[in-house]
Amino acid sequence: MAKRNLFYAQSGGVTAAINATACGVIQTARANRSRIGKVFAGRNGILGALREELIDTGAESAKTIAALRHTPAGAFGSCRYKLKDPQVDDSEYERLLAVFEAHDIGYFLYNGGGDSADTCLKVAQLAARHGYPLQAIHLPKTVDNDLPFTDCCPGFGSVAKYVAVSTREAGLDVASMCETSTKVFILEVMGRHAGWIAAAAGLAAERDGDPPHLILFPEIAFDPARFLARVERTVKRHGYCVVVASEGARFADGAFLADSGATDAFGHKQLGGVAPTLAAMVKDNLGYKYHWALADYLQRAARHIASATDIEQAYAVGKAGVEYALAGRSGVMVTIERGRGARYRWSLGEAPLEKVANVERKLPRGFISRDGFGITAAARAQLAPLIAGEDYPPYGRDGLPCYARVEQKLVARKLKTPFPA
């Protein structure tokens, strides 16, 4: 069998674990030199394929590739770019195939969330239609943990650990000063459509009364009166109240809290900020001193406090992607499957992309406590194993983590037409 080249690309929001998947892909491909030729990475994701900007990962040392395992964000660049619907305009998909053909790419490994699963499926279908031999494999990645058919998504466990650890730490801070200072602390976390990340904050609580005292999920309609009553009750009972709010928290009519809030000095609506909106509500109605934090990218980039389980899975997913491709599979996503029994065990599997693409997995109602403000034992059982274990990056003598720097050396173009044409 002739050696063919491999193309790997990162898509959408980056995570603390996506480079571990890249590491798994590249190291496994290098271990299979007899069957895989060059390993290209798309510069800025799928845009790199469209523009024929292919990074030659062969130019990177084994040491740099190994360091990807402990490096956050997207080492080859990622993008938010939605390909045109090929039913309407198939020029972009045709272009992808032309680039793949020009560079003899036989393996397409696409690392992203729901949108990229859809792209990967369409590429697989187009290649089949053209009779172009291509193994197209989707590698899951999303901090939102909202892909179906996989027990969890690489990237989520690390953001979950960051949020749980930060909630525990900030909770101790507030508790120790609440008598004369801040009584209400609000931490806003990611998850526009699903409350998985917010739910992870619930892992911080060990005993009754521990923070977080309230979690606001996108899945539960926000009721200001119930919220305020609960905050007040918590402050009266415990002296303080820690709230973790999903950025996707919304009112019963579907409007986001983040859109309801502030107007800046110029009269423009200010974007973002469930936390300040809630803080203003608390101050106006209850008069408590408050503080709030918005972790934003800090949470998904926090490789320094990554979950060892997450990093192992992210790496394994990349490795399996190459193995599946070599085994002739295509049009599938690598999945993480949980074993039965109380002790957490996982293995890898696969799911057909037809079923995966564009399906969003919300937090099940059974994971949210009856009152809508906390997590259940079922949620805890599901989430706790995903943050287990620490996987620290190496640090320099300067006290900072040593993260990989990739050269991003591009291979020469072979096509005559540029993109866009």
| Residues with active-site annotation | 144
Residue 26 sits in the site that holds its own copies (CB under 8 A):
no
The answer to whether 48 touches 54, Cβ cutoff 8 Å, is yes
Which CB sits closer to its own copies, 351 or 406? 406
Residue 145 sits in the site that holds its own copies (CB under 8 A):
no
Considering only residues 153 through 192, tell me which ones interact with its own copies, judged by CB under 8 A.
161, 164-166, 168-170, 172-177, 179-182, 185, 187
Radius of gyration of the chain (CA): 23
Residue 359 sits in the site that holds its own copies (CB under 8 A):
no
Q: How many residues bind its own copies (CB under 8 A)?
A: 85
How, if at all, do strands 184-189 and 135-140 pair?
unpaired
The answer to whether 286 touches 292, Cβ cutoff 8 Å, is no
State the minimum distance, in angstroms, from the CB of residue 284 to its own copies.
6
Q: Which of 132, 251, 288, 403 binds its own copies (CB under 8 A)?
A: 403
Q: What share of the chain is helix, strand, coil (3-state, %, to 5)?
A: 40, 20, 45
Residue 139 sits in the site that holds its own copies (CB under 8 A):
no
Q: Which of 42, 72, 318, 372 binds its own copies (CB under 8 A)?
A: 72
Residue 392 sits in the site that holds its own copies (CB under 8 A):
yes
Which CB sits closer to its own copies, 35 or 192? 192
Considering only residues 36 through 55, tell me which ones interact with its own copies, judged by CB under 8 A.
44, 47
Residue 200: CB atoms within 10 Å: 30
Between the alpha carbon of residue 221 and those of residues 100, 241, 256, 374, the distances in Å are 47, 20, 10, 14
State the minimum distance, in angstroms, from the CB of residue 113 to its own copies.
13
Residue type for position 311? I
* Cα 49 from Cα 29, distance rounded (Å): 19
Q: Phi and psi (nearest 5°) for 396?
A: -80, 175
Residue 208 sits in the site that holds its own copies (CB under 8 A):
no
Q: Which of 192, 401, 411, 419 binds its own copies (CB under 8 A)?
A: 401
Q: Which residue has the tokens 């939605």?
A: 82
Considering only residues 302 through 331, tell me which ones interact with its own copies, judged by CB under 8 A.
302-305, 307, 309
Q: Helix 224-238 vs helix 274-286: angle between axes, to the nearest 10 degrees?
A: 70
State the minimum distance, in angstroms, from the CB of residue 313 to its own copies.
14
Which CB sits closer to its own copies, 12 or 37? 12
Residue 400 sits in the site that holds its own copies (CB under 8 A):
yes
Which CB sits closer to its own copies, 144 or 219? 144
Q: Is 37 helix (H, G, I), strand (E, B) or coil?
A: strand
Q: Which of 390, 407, 414, 418 binds its own copies (CB under 8 A)?
A: 390
Q: Phi and psi (nearest 5°) for 11?
A: -135, 140
Residue 343 sits in the site that holds its own copies (CB under 8 A):
no
State the minimum distance, in angstroms, from the CB of residue 92 to its own copies.
14
Residue 263 sits in the site that holds its own copies (CB under 8 A):
yes
Considering only residues 280 through 299, tell me which ones interact with its own copies, judged by CB under 8 A.
280, 283-284, 291-298
DSSP code, position 138 = E
**Contact range with its own copies by CB under 8 A, out of 109-117, 132-140, 216-224, 263-271:** 263-271
* Cα 37 from Cα 384, distance rounded (Å): 40
The answer to whether 155 touches 310, Cβ cutoff 8 Å, is yes
Q: Give just the sign of the alpha carbon dihedral 205, 277, 301, 156.
A: positive
Quote the Cα angle for 47-53-58, to 5°: 125
